[in-house]
Amino acid sequence: MALELFSVSDYRKWGYLVKAWATGKPVPGSGGAAPAKPATLAELEQQCTAIGLSITIPSYLTNIRVLDGAKDTLTIRLPAKELVEAAEQEIAGSAEYELPIFYDDIYGHPPLPMDQQRKLDLQAERIGDYAVGMCQ
């Protein structure tokens, strides 16, 4: 059975939402004010729905904590022991180890040309990937 994890339908939208929480600026194209950091999973779902983003929240998640980084502090975010061990078991059982598809734009073949907007989108996708993949 596959490990159930938090997931997002679009790393770019997710990344821009995470960036909005970090910067206090609106999500590009949302036409609204900057979203407040969610205090509940229901608020998170509402914010994602508002920008056209689908998310999957595993049943074992009951709380949310949004942590602010500080420029002068190295923050090492450890994943949950149970999730690391479950992922290792899946890998040992020949499970695929997939990367988000947006990495195909920069690895494995000549990189696609990038204008300033594509670079900002890629930054958002990478932030989104970090906020999902490295923090659970």
**Residue 2 covered by a domain:** no
pTM attached to this predicted model: 0.85
Q: Which domain holds residue 118?
A: 7-133
Q: Please answer whether residues 76 and 67 qualify as being in contact, where contact means their C-beta atoms are separated by less than 8 angstroms.
A: no
What does the radius of gyration of the chain's CA atoms come to, in whole angstroms? 16
Number of domains in the chain: 1
Which pLDDT band holds residue 34 (cuts at 50, 70, 90)? very high
**Residue 1 covered by a domain:** no
The residues near 23 (Cβ < 8 Å, ≥ 6 apart) are 34
Does the pLDDT of residue 136 top 60, yes or no? no
Tally helices (H) and strands (E) across the chain.
Answer: 4, 2
Residues 57-76 have a mean pLDDT of 92
Q: Which is higher by pLDDT, 3 or 42?
A: 42
Alpha helix (H) residue ranges in 5-115: 11-23, 41-50, 81-92
- Provide the pLDDT for residue 95: 66
**Residue 76 covered by a domain:** yes
**Residue 86 covered by a domain:** yes
* CB-facing half-sphere around the CA of 89: CA atoms within 13 A: 9
